[in-house]
Each structure stands twice: as structure tokens, then as C-alpha cells.
Amino acid sequence: MAWPLIRLIPRQTHFRFVKWAPVAAAISALLIVGSCVSFFTQGLNLGIDFKGGVAMEARMPTPIPLGELRTELKRIGVHDAQVQGFGSPNSAMIRFLPEAGQNANTEAAQIKQKLVAHFPTMTMPAPSVIGAKVSGELLGSGFKALGIALLLMLGYIWFRFQWQFGVGAVVAVFHDIILTLGLLSVLHIEFSMTSIAALLTVIGYSMNEKVITFDRLKENLRKYKTTPLRDIIDLSENERLSRTIITGSTALLALGGTMVFGGPVLFPLVFTMTFGILIGTYSSVYIALPLILVWGVKRGDEEATPIKLGAGTRP
């Protein structure tokens, strides 16, 4: 089924990507402003990892029915509890926020008593209480990891290409992160440690797209030394368009299935990665490359090969 669909993708296209760069820049600027407004007005919907709470492990001699466990927690009044497999099918981790003004250990003991009454074979070790200080340190460490990843990738691209490429790539990745966080804030999707992992994955995918984009651009800059830069950018993007469509579609198909059938626990992770792939592909074309067009680049010293403007064909 897949092969006939892939054959429908044109091998040669003639799109003028640079022509629409000013429009894309205006749209991106508006979205960034909207994301910042959402941050300051309602912030992120921080999960238990970053707000503190109670973690309880549940064990049974047989596989734990996670769906039934979630239903029972809701029935006994534990709202927004997180339940997920932990290690083996016979273990599960329960995380929840204690009620305001109630002792966390007391509430955990009450919940444990009610769960054991409903699941007679269930055993639950002593709960762990995550304090606000620890959760704050986790949040700071998570964003520190994002910053370090960006700096390392900036250094790699600067070494691999030119400083203009590196700055353009990092600005584009910042664009991707801000818009992804803005969407999570607007939709009030829970932000936890798994969201940090998703953002790191988004950074990796986005930077990979930009390396491939820059590599094709660098090759064409060496070959077509006398051709205007905007025409070389259009040529390079048209040459790699089919590859972008195929790889992006493959990733989105896999994530789409997980988003539909993965359940509420995996939804924030998969949703973040899905949007990140889409916005990362967009920023490679309309953020990173236009910035290079603004700053200019040093051409190679190889003999130039002239091309017709808008040819869009592979050399």
C-alpha cells in the first residue's frame, strides 16, 4: 500500500520558498507573542514531578489492571491521579497531589486502605512524598538540560558549517521550543519530566532537519558560486522536499497510532513530539534559511556552475 503512495510524490518541484519567508516570519512572530502571553497569564500545567505530591507503588501477584485501578482511584475521590506501569506488569506507580490543607502521609494511608480493600491481593510499600523544593530542582534541571543541548548543537553546527548556520539553527530551535511550550500552555496539557524528554527529542529531530538542509545548501553554494543566494536556497529545498515528506510522514504515522491508542499517560509525550516534528520541519525552511539569507554566507572557491533561476532540479 505504501509504495504506490510514495510514487505519487514528485521527484522534481519548483516551489519558491523564499518568496513566502516574510509572511512566515510575521506568522511566527504573532505565534511567539501569543505563546509568551499564555506563559504569563496561565503558565504551564505542571505535573506532580514539578509541583510536588505523593508517589505510591502498587504490587500484585498477577498483572495489575491499570484501567480498573484508575477507575477506582477516581471513585474514591483521588482526582488527576497518574497511574502507569512500573518495571513489570505486576507493578504500577500511582502519583497524585494531596488535598489542600491535608497531611500527605495521612491521605496516602487512607487511599492505601481503600485500594487494598478493593484489591485484596495488592500490597503497597511506604509512599514517597515529593516536596516543593525537590520538584523545583527537577524543573530547573530539566530546562538546564535543554539549554546544554542547544549549546552543544550550536557548537557542532558552527564547526561543521559556518557561524551563520549555527546561529540560524539555534534561533530556529528556540522558535520550535517556544511554540511547543506555548501550545502546551494554551491547551493546558500536563507538563512533566516526560515532556522534557519529548522536548529534547524535538530538539534532536529539528536539528537533524537543519543539518540536512544546511548540508544540501553548502553543497550547492560550492557548485553554483555566481547564482543569487535566494535561488540556491529554493533549489536546495526543492531537491530535499521528497525526502522531507517521506521521513516526516513516517514519523507522524507512528506517533499518530501511539497518540490514539497509547492512552492518557502517553498522550502529553506523543502530542509534544508530533507538534515538534511539524514545527521543526517548518522552521528549517522558513526560520533557519531566511536568517542565512539576511546575514549572507561565504561561498566556496570551487569553479562555479551556472543554473537557470527556479530550475529546482537536482545537479
Q: What digits encode the pLDDT tens for the residues 201-238? A: 888 888 888 888 888 888 888 888 778 888 888 888 88
- Residue 256 C-alpha from the chain's centroid: 14
pLDDT at 135: 58
pLDDT at 32: 94
Which DSSP symbol is given to 19? G
- Residue 67: CA atoms inside 13 Å, Cβ hemisphere, count? 2
pLDDT at 131: 62
CA distances from 240 to 3, 210, 236, 297 (A): 19, 12, 7, 20
In sequence order, the 6+-apart residues with CB closer than 8 A to the CB of 268 are 184, 189, 190, 191, 192, 194, 195, 198
Whether residue 257 is predicted with pLDDT greater than 60 in this model: the reply is yes
pLDDT band of residue 30 (cuts 50, 70, 90) is very high
pLDDT at 33: 94
Which DSSP symbol is given to 307? -
CA distances from 198 to 28, 177, 186, 201, 227 (A): 21, 11, 18, 5, 40
pLDDT band of residue 29 (cuts 50, 70, 90) is very high
pLDDT in tens, 126-170: 787 766 555 567 677 777 877 887 788 777 777 777 777 777 888
Length of the chain measured in residues: 315
Percent of the chain with pLDDT over 70: 84
pLDDT at 2: 46
Kindly state the average pLDDT of the residues 11-39.
Answer: 87
Whether residue 5 is predicted with pLDDT greater than 70 in this model: the reply is no
Whether residue 27 is predicted with pLDDT greater than 90 in this model: the reply is yes
pLDDT at 167: 79
pLDDT band of residue 308 (cuts 50, 70, 90) is very low
Whether residue 16 is predicted with pLDDT greater than 70 in this model: the reply is yes
Position 253, amino acid: L
- The CA angle 154-26-274, to the nearest 5 degrees, is 60
pLDDT at 200: 83
pLDDT at 312: 41
Kindly state the average pLDDT of the residues 176-201.
Answer: 86
Buried b (16+ CB within 10 A) or exposed e, 171-199: ebbebbbbbbbbbbbeeebbbbbbbbebb
Q: In which residue are the cell numbers 525526502 written?
A: 243
